């Protein structure tokens, strides 16, 4: 199959107007026919949420030159489901999500709408990747993450991924000349140390804002956190079989019912 | 430590008024001091969503006899985070979530607010379990799942779980006399074959409802789907390191940058 025949589904969680998705569309355009289906509003932190209590809407938009694009009223996962069923009427050859404005490395993968969209496609057997840039600002310079996305998607097409193959790609904030290239990694053992900011509304009632500091507990040099700290782009292959096989064995041996 | 000193955090995703959480409170009451922090409205399908764009509210409620209880305006994961920081001012000894009105076996684990709440606690190092009942109805008979929850939490307390230990417990719909007991399992390879129901609103515009059929692709007899089909309660130990180590090795060997 010629590259031009590949169907590439692009989505994100920052919403269709975010600069990051525009960079991703440009990154993958050389590889085939791009179709964008993305949330009509920001969906950061939505994890693998799906919309079941309200109906969903799709609307065509013309904001990417020469590229079919739709907004969806739902979550990133809803976008992928609707794209397959109602827009593509079948599976795309590849699904890419992002480029997220902010990190999705380490434990962030489980909160990330960007990664959940890509995971949804992977569950359907579509080779998929989520791309995130450690610069959180709206007007970040996407030159480096765009270059990384083009290289990684090129590899996905040229070398393929096995059934269910899914990549979590994060790109560091660094000068182009200091960038050391992509690196295959594992998910670091890291988490957030959180505290809620407690305030009072004009009626005297308390309310809370989530705040927190990211804390790496992992000293390994094969982790995504290490790679990003050392100016590599991290590529973590991700799975959706969440079985903890070691604990399964331990409980099978020791828990008698 | 005496059982009575244990702090047991109870949450869910169906909302604090759901009968399932009442059954879970009753199931774990013999083991210590129960504190309930649950969503003020149904949050099914929220996955690991967190609330970052709007502030959160907590309100005390008195609906469980002799049990401290709070509603939270956010997601199940928000409940666990807020409970630790603003209500318990520290970690509970155990966190249990559910009993969900509906299945969270196989791939449902990644969409499940019930399991995400338990996972959030596990990330914090709290032994945790999510409980789900395959009966979706509001007025389901929770006798069997309540009995299973009491037995499993008893085991968690008596035998302990290692750091990060997290269990996904599903209970079949069957007569008490046909029930075969709990069984340690792996997550089945199963998914949804989905189709959106397309309708038109009174203004002629299209909208979509998510619908789908669950399809088991896994012939193993050690899976949660098999256990439930055969009148066992399934217990799948769950992890939050999502690294696909086999694919990591494969890509490290074959992808050269």
Residue among B165, B244, B257 whose CB faces A247 most closely: B165
Mean pLDDT of A202-214: 91
3-state secondary structure of A143: helix
Specify which residues B133 forms β-bridges with: B101, B171
DSSP labels for B171-235?
E----GGG---EEE-B---EEEEEEEEEEE-TTS-EEEEEEEEEEE----SSBHHHHHHTTPEEE
Q: What share of chain A has pLDDT > 90, as a percent?
A: 86
Residue whose C-alpha is closest to residue B84's, from B123, B46, B54, B141: B123
* pLDDT at residue A4, rounded to an integer: 53
Using a CB-CB distance cutoff of 8 angstroms, which residues of chain A are in contact with residue B55? 199, 207-209
Give residue-wise pLDDT tens across range A79-90.
999 999 999 999
Among candidates B44, B50, B255 on the partner chain, residue whose Cβ is nearest the Cβ of A111 = B50
**What pLDDT score does B193 carry?**
87
In this predicted structure, the answer to whether residue B214 has a pLDDT above a threshold of 50 is yes
Q: Token pair for residue A79?
A: 């976008």
Within 8 A of A116 by CB-CB distance, chain B residues are 47, 110
Q: Do residues A168 and A130 touch, judged by C-beta distance below 8 A? A: yes
- Nearest-CA residue of chain A relative to B123? A191
Q: Do B42 and A49 touch (CB under 8 A)?
A: no
Are B243 and A49 inside 8 Å of each other by CB?
Answer: no
pLDDT at B4: 53
* Inter-chain residue contact B208 with A56, CB threshold 8 Å: yes
State how far the alpha carbon of B252 is from the alpha carbons of A237, B117, B248, in Å.
10, 34, 6
Which CATH number among 3.40.50.80, 3.30.56.10, 3.40.1210.10, 1.10.1740.10 corresponds to the domain B3-188+220-249?
Answer: 3.40.1210.10
B213 is in an annotated binding site: no
B101 to chain A, minimum CA–CA distance in Å? 15
Q: Provide the pLDDT confidence category of residue B1 given band limits of 50, 70 and 90.
A: very low
Here the tokens at position A220 are 């390994």
CB atoms within 10 A of CB A177: 5
Q: Is beta strand A7-11 parallel, antiparallel or unpaired with respect to B68-72?
A: unpaired
pLDDT at A153 over 60: yes
pLDDT at position A1, please? Answer: 44
Q: How far is CA B186 from CA A214, A239, A244, A249, in A?
A: 31, 14, 8, 10
Judge whether residue A188 has pLDDT over 70.
Answer: yes
Nearest to A195 among B85, B161, B182 (CB): B85
Contact A98, A43 (CB under 8 A): no
Q: Indicate the CATH number for domain A3-187+220-254.
A: 3.40.1210.10
Tokens of B146: 């309540």
Q: State the pLDDT at residue B257.
A: 85
pLDDT at B163 over 90: no
Spatial distance between the Cα atoms of B222 and B186, rounded to a whole number of angstroms: 6
The answer for residues whose C-beta is within 8 angstroms of residue B234's C-beta and 6 or more apart is B105, B168, B169, B170, B182, B183, B185, B223, B224, B225, B227, B228
User: Exposed/middle/buried for A241, CB within 10 Å: 0-12, 13-18, 19+?
Assistant: middle
Domain boundaries of chain A, sorted by first residue: 3-187+220-254
**C-alpha distance from A241 to closest chain B C-alpha (Å):** 6
β-pairing verdict for A7-11 and A33-39: parallel
User: Is a pLDDT exceeding 60 seen at residue A118?
Assistant: yes
Residue B21 C-alpha, separation from nearest chain A C-alpha, in angstroms: 20
**Nearest-CA neighbor of B46 among B131, B104, B3, B87?**
B104
Record: contact B248-A183, CB cut-off 8 A: no
Q: pLDDT, tens digit, for every residue of B38-54?
A: 999 887 777 778 888 78
Q: Is B14 annotated as a binding residue?
A: yes
CB distance A190 to A217 below 8 Å? yes
Per-residue pLDDT at A3 = 46
Q: Which of A47, A55, A241 sits opposite B208 (nearest CB)?
A: A55
Residue A107 reports pLDDT greater than 90: yes
- The per-residue pLDDT of chain A, averaged, comes to 94
């Amino acid at each position: 199959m010629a590259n031009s025949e590949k169907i590439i589904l692009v989505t994100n969680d920052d919403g269709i107007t975010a600069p990051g998705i525009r960079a991703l569309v440009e990154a993958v355009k050389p590889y085939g026919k791009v179709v964008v289906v993305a949330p009509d509003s920001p969906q950061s932190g939505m994890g693998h949420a799906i919309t079941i209590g309200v109906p969903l809407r799709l609307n065509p938009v013309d904001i990417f030159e020469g590229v079919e694009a739709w907004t969806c009223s739902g979550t990133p996962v809803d976008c992928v489901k609707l794209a397959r069923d109602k827009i593509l009427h079948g599976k795309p050859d590849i699904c890419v999500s992002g480029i997220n404005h902010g990190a999705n490395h380490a434990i962030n993968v489980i909160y990330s709408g960007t990664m959940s969209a890509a995971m949804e496609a992977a569950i359907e057997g579509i080779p998929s990747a989520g791309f995130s840039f450690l610069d959180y600002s709206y007007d970040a310079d996407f030159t480096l993450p765009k270059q990384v996305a083009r290289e990684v998607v090129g590899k996905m097409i040229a070398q393929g991924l096995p059934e269910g193959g899914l990549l979590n790609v994060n790109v560091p904030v660094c000068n182009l000349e200091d960038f050391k290239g992509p690196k295959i990694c594992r998910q670091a053992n890291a988490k957030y140390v959180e505290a809620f900011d407690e305030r009072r509304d004009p009626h005297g009632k308390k309310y809370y804002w989530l705040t927190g500091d990211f804390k790496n507990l992992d000293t390994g040099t094969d982790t995504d956190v290490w790679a990003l700290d050392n100016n590599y782009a991290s590529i973590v292959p991700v799975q959706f079989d969440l079985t903890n096989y070691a604990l399964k064995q331990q409980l099978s041996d020791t828990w008698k019912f």
